[in-house]
Structure 1
């Protein structure tokens, strides 16, 4: 058998130090009950060990030295002793007094991971003080394994030959991951097999990571190594209140908490409190070589020293993490390197030590604070930039650098330290800095950057946000006294950064909360307007924004079997017709039309005053196939059994679908970059079934047909178009299908598309795909005319194709349409016209 090797390292010197025995205080020493040291206050074990031992539990090391008493037992809430194979077999024990790792140097903590990649035949290790047992992973879909486990997320199977049921049960299992041994499970069942091997059923710990973390991270004064409550209060960190909702940069998902600690050996930052900080890696290495910060969603700020001589193909950036081994990071590869033109490494002065890295796809800056943008200072007049930050200012340095001067090991978690700006005339600074206008010194004894901190940010608190005032450049020498660190003075380089990014960096000014925009509709319009004006704020339909009552009176909800359950969206075309997507009708036939109905005239889908109609006829586009590889022509009309009377019911309005001016190419409407609005009652989160009661609305942008994001999703640019955001977060979702996407004309709302399909919901780099209504005008109009109705008059011209935003969310491309598409378009019109004539003759 060809096994996947984990690592040829004897694990005993490393992992046995994490293992303790659990016993009653009067019990004779034994190895039978085992646990692992998760933190200084918590022991991880299996439930059967502690389910019946609730009082006077002790732990010891190698059954010799008593280490402490257990004062509380946490058993997983879903544990049931009588269930078939005892799922959720995991427990935490809290020590009455934390372990002292300085006194007990033989002890160490076990490492867990929220994500584990388990491949069949991976070699794992069962660890004990006396021996380690090699085991081999069995796939959960193996028939033998499947007969033993009860939930492949919570459990997995291993095979081993060197132990017995009594020896193995309750022992921890480790996997070699990222250069360390990581505990991934606890054996809780071992069954002897026919070939003298054993099948082990293992509790899969990554499934319980969040539950374990929720207990371990709960603040409990009694578990701190501090004598009195007064000491606890004096040592609590200072919290810097920073809101991602009121500032455009300089704030993260969590608030910074800062105490008097040092980065060397130092203080771990609060998780996700510096989400603008990224690590920079060379040649797919797991360890960061440098640190940087997010200037825009496409540009990372770092030092020139970090990337001088590197190729774009050598570099990648990791964002959105705190623990670089255990978090779920966002990885982006560098496409271009911009080093300051006046940088010269060979002169050893490190002047102009600044660089920008262009990454693609852009980072997902979604306003939730992880990842987040850094703020950079813009000083007026420019002459004052040479004095910013000012002498004595308190700054905070952040990075994953080494925690010891001679160490080659980087910190696993993000570190932070408070340091001060030095006087320009300080002797130690004078002999270290080369250009005081472009560089500044900062530091204190034993507080300096170390290996891996190069290129990282240094911040100043501005009252409501953190301003990045510098970049770690050189000096410091970790913990050497009288060797201040030197930082690139960012205020000097504001104009250069703007020139590279090619947009305004107004990021140092806190932005006010988003102001709702009222779209004043022309109430005399025969379509596209409600009695209430639409009010939009920056939001997303997935997780979204409620629409105002009566602001979208053309929307309808498709329903089955007379229920109130929402199936798809649609819009009112005329007194008798509804516009929707063909794929919403896949399971509907003419025989079962009585099962299909619509509800209109509502914003709350349970509104008792809603207008209801049954569907008595459907018109699916004749070229719609509906296969997974052909989603073109996803459009249908539904005929209601009783016409709407708009004059007597002001809650109902027609949607506007107008003819496209013949001078405009059909595949260029709506125009690239146009701000659009999607509405619907679809689910508010991908993967859930929760459907909102209130109609949701969100703004998105039309994406160029030729853009790579659109080309990989779309099947025919004449018939379909893409809309969304690069970074995701705004999209239609399940249940929004068949609903409309609108553009604002300045007088009314024009429906330009129908929600057709997409990849998940609001998925980054997978925009939604919409049926392009400008292509189907004649098909729609002819069906209505045959039934004595018509679309509202009007023509979509170049004057209608207003681009209502200059947002940089999308990069506009050429509007030129190829001769191939031009010829193809007119060929379709001729063929379609002939078919209509023949159909009319037959109909008569």
Structure 2
């Protein structure tokens, strides 16, 4: 029983106990048994607001199902959905005695609650892939009464006490991040990422080939790793200025496509030019960013073990100095030291760690940060997780749901994983235009993914999702195959030569521009649909039997008003039976 519990008090503070069983349950051999997850709340989250106001919760038990003094406890297990209520809500603070160790949950209108016989049972929140017990049913005034919520012991407060009692070691929690590198052009490794609560300083090994956008910078003379970097494109590497500001291109080589630094099959490239930011300065590490141009391209398209990194392009109303936002979970990776001041602790295999971005105005951050526009802090308030020597120049990422975006470059810190001294990172959102001024291709612009389900919408949705990068058709980027299934090619039947585009309006009609066909007759035109490459011999070909040009179109006018036409096909396309074809939506 918790040492601060008092049965004589009406306040029921520290209403928590643990029972030791005379014989183990045998969890591993019984699929009908499962252990509960207990919260371990870390900064920047606040124990006193965990679970947060309005969180959907589930309470379960065999307690009474209505309020009276008779035993109306059911034989079968019951469940009820309620919501966490703000500590300062009037209906909560009249019943709550200590917001650190108790919280309220109910419905404002009443009618749902725990009751006699439910005490001691769990109340849980859903985390996306598992249930976490956030409280223990403690007490209430009546059951399910309007204005009198249930009071629960706040488990987040008791993590350390539980650890001191339980003999079984806590199983580390891990999160798997999956993405499809055939659907996104950057930020997706060859393998999925599995991130466990650990640290680079004393940390965990990454899954092999899960971070294929990272590279190792090495001294040409000794082949010794000294900094990290990330792949911007076939010919450019992103790193920190302080890593290479005194080097010449001949001093540095880049190793990519490996998990272990010692891998003899790594892709090795020499450097032929170094671009250090013109405003780079020490000792504040301002503008700590540089780009290396390789003497020979990496040939990303031919090597699945290499991936380009995604770079943020922040637009209003998002403020650059708040990107990434405070409290964002971040992943940083590297081959740096796993113990501070131990020069033999640099691992051969790639390591990773999860940290959190820290508010610019946090005292731990402000005493280390020199310019919040171009730097940000990340770490844990209690320390224990951080980057260290030889991780400099490497990337720090945030997860966007379908890919990783590099939000920073490892810059500096006071020690490694020291409580109160977070790591400092170059804020990449501030350097989009500088990077673009050096890397003159479209590789580094993060694509925007547009997802839809063509089984649920009638039009405007193709076989695959569109990945759209800000660019232009002249000098632009290739579309992902079969993402624009309503697009057709207008061709001359005599030569099969493409002369205009169009879109599928229906099984028998194609929408196009009047100026494309005002000099044509139906017997000279054919359309080709369902192809990514115009030369694809498997395209759906249809002849045109009628051309409808808008009656107000005038080919002699330079104004091109009413530049619209519709083509009637001699044979329907068969949209219902061909997943490579889709009709367009018209406003």
Offset of 1:681 from its aligned partner? 0.6
Alpha-carbon displacement from aligned partner over 1:547-573 (angstroms, at most 9, x marks no partner): 122211110011113433210100011
SS at match of 2:183: coil
C-alpha distance in 2, partners of 1:536/1:702? 16
1:636 is the counterpart of 2:290: yes
Alignment check: 8 A CA contact 1:498 1:504 kept: no
Alignment check: 8 A CA contact 2:138 2:153 kept: no
1:567 is the counterpart of 2:219: no
Matching residue of 1:545: 204
Alpha-carbon displacement from aligned partner over 1:516-550 (angstroms, at most 9, x marks no partner): 42323343322111221212222222221211222
Alignment check: 8 A CA contact 2:275 2:291 kept: yes
Alignment check: 8 A CA contact 1:599 1:613 kept: yes
Alpha-carbon displacement from aligned partner over 1:124-153 (angstroms, at most 9, x marks no partner): xxxxxxxxxxxxxxxxxxxxxxxxxxxxxx
Matching residue of 2:266: 610
Alpha-carbon displacement from aligned partner over 1:759-817 (angstroms, at most 9, x marks no partner): 211222222111111110111111112xxx344334689x9xxxxxxxxxxxxxxxxxx
C-alpha distance in 1, partners of 2:357/2:151? 26
Q: Which protein is richer in helix relative to its size?
A: 1
C-alpha distance in 2, partners of 1:498/1:704? 32
C-alpha distance in 2, partners of 1:711/1:639? 34
C-alpha distance in 1, partners of 2:162/2:226? 46
From the superposition, tell whether residues 594 and 678 of structure 1 become closer, same or farther in structure 2 (CA, over 3 Å): same
Offset of 1:579 from its aligned partner? 0.4
Offset of 1:717 from its aligned partner? 1.1
Matching residue of 2:421: 766
Alpha-carbon displacement from aligned partner over 1:170-207 (angstroms, at most 9, x marks no partner): xxxxxxxxxxxxxxxxxxxxxxxxxxxxxxxxxxxxxx
From the superposition, tell whether residues 527 and 249 of structure 1 become closer, same or farther in structure 2 (CA, over 3 Å): closer
Offset of 1:580 from its aligned partner? 0.3
Offset of 1:619 from its aligned partner? 0.9
C-alpha distance in 1, partners of 2:419/2:150? 26
SS at match of 2:301: coil
Alignment check: 8 A CA contact 1:660 1:666 kept: yes
SS at match of 2:288: coil
SS at match of 1:659: coil
Alpha-carbon displacement from aligned partner over 1:226-274 (angstroms, at most 9, x marks no partner): xxxxxxxxxxxxx999xxxx887799xxxxxxxxxxxxxxxxxxxxxxx
Alignment check: 8 A CA contact 1:661 1:795 kept: no
1:777 is the counterpart of 2:429: no
From the superposition, tell whether residues 707 and 599 of structure 1 become closer, same or farther in structure 2 (CA, over 3 Å): same
C-alpha distance in 2, partners of 1:524/1:385? 49
Offset of 1:672 from its aligned partner? 1.9
1:739 is the counterpart of 2:394: yes
1:685 is the counterpart of 2:339: yes
C-alpha distance in 2, partners of 1:566/1:674? 30
Alignment check: 8 A CA contact 2:231 2:307 kept: yes
Offset of 1:667 from its aligned partner? 0.9
C-alpha distance in 2, partners of 1:567/1:746? 32
Match of 2:276 among 620, 623, 628: 620
Alignment check: 8 A CA contact 1:658 1:791 kept: no
SS at match of 1:573: strand
TM-score by length of 1: 0.36
Matching residue of 2:301: 647
Alignment check: 8 A CA contact 1:740 1:753 kept: yes
User: Which fold has the larger relative contact order, with Cα–Cα distance below 8 Å and residues 6 or more apart in sequence?
Assistant: 2
C-alpha distance in 2, partners of 1:608/1:640? 20
From the superposition, tell whether residues 383 and 695 of structure 1 become closer, same or farther in structure 2 (CA, over 3 Å): same
1:719 is the counterpart of 2:374: yes
C-alpha distance in 1, partners of 2:117/2:36? 25
C-alpha distance in 2, partners of 1:713/1:662? 28
Alignment check: 8 A CA contact 1:581 1:636 kept: yes
Alpha-carbon displacement from aligned partner over 1:675-707 (angstroms, at most 9, x marks no partner): 211111111122212101110112121122122
SS at match of 2:435: helix
Unmatched segments (≥5 aa) in structure 1 = 1-238, 252-295, 300-339, 344-351, 359-379, 389-468, 470-489, 800-844
SS at match of 1:781: helix
SS at match of 1:532: coil
Aligned length: 349
Matched ranges for 1:333-348 at <5 A = none
Offset of 1:381 from its aligned partner? 5.8
Alignment check: 8 A CA contact 1:523 1:531 kept: no
Match of 1:600 among 256, 266, 270: 256
Match of 1:709 among 364, 368, 389: 364
From the superposition, tell whether residues 631 and 497 of structure 1 become closer, same or farther in structure 2 (CA, over 3 Å): farther
Match of 1:519 among 173, 178, 193: 178
Alignment check: 8 A CA contact 1:526 1:792 kept: no
Alignment check: 8 A CA contact 1:581 1:634 kept: yes
From the superposition, tell whether residues 519 and 780 of structure 1 become closer, same or farther in structure 2 (CA, over 3 Å): same
C-alpha distance in 2, partners of 1:676/1:732? 12
Offset of 1:498 from its aligned partner? 7.3
Alignment check: 8 A CA contact 2:39 2:156 kept: no
C-alpha distance in 2, partners of 1:298/1:790? 45
Offset of 1:618 from its aligned partner? 0.8
Matching residue of 1:793: 445
Match of 2:327 among 650, 673, 681: 673
Match of 1:533 among 192, 198, 201: 192
C-alpha distance in 1, partners of 2:448/2:414? 30
Alpha-carbon displacement from aligned partner over 1:41-72 (angstroms, at most 9, x marks no partner): xxxxxxxxxxxxxxxxxxxxxxxxxxxxxxxx
From the superposition, tell whether residues 383 and 740 of structure 1 become closer, same or farther in structure 2 (CA, over 3 Å): same
RMSD after superposition: 4.8
C-alpha distance in 1, partners of 2:150/2:243? 49
Matching residue of 2:310: 656
Alignment check: 8 A CA contact 2:274 2:293 kept: yes
Offset of 1:708 from its aligned partner? 2.1
Offset of 1:341 from its aligned partner? 9.2
From the superposition, tell whether residues 249 and 608 of structure 1 become closer, same or farther in structure 2 (CA, over 3 Å): same
C-alpha distance in 2, partners of 1:765/1:248? 28
Alignment check: 8 A CA contact 2:140 2:149 kept: yes
From the superposition, tell whether residues 502 and 587 of structure 1 become closer, same or farther in structure 2 (CA, over 3 Å): same
Alignment check: 8 A CA contact 2:396 2:410 kept: yes
1:729 is the counterpart of 2:381: no
From the superposition, tell whether residues 356 and 534 of structure 1 become closer, same or farther in structure 2 (CA, over 3 Å): closer
Alignment check: 8 A CA contact 1:572 1:655 kept: yes
Alignment check: 8 A CA contact 1:754 1:772 kept: yes
From the superposition, tell whether residues 661 and 249 of structure 1 become closer, same or farther in structure 2 (CA, over 3 Å): closer
C-alpha distance in 2, partners of 1:747/1:250? 26
SS at match of 2:233: coil
Larger Rg: 1
From the superposition, tell whether residues 699 and 496 of structure 1 become closer, same or farther in structure 2 (CA, over 3 Å): farther
C-alpha distance in 2, partners of 1:496/1:624? 57
C-alpha distance in 1, partners of 2:375/2:240? 12
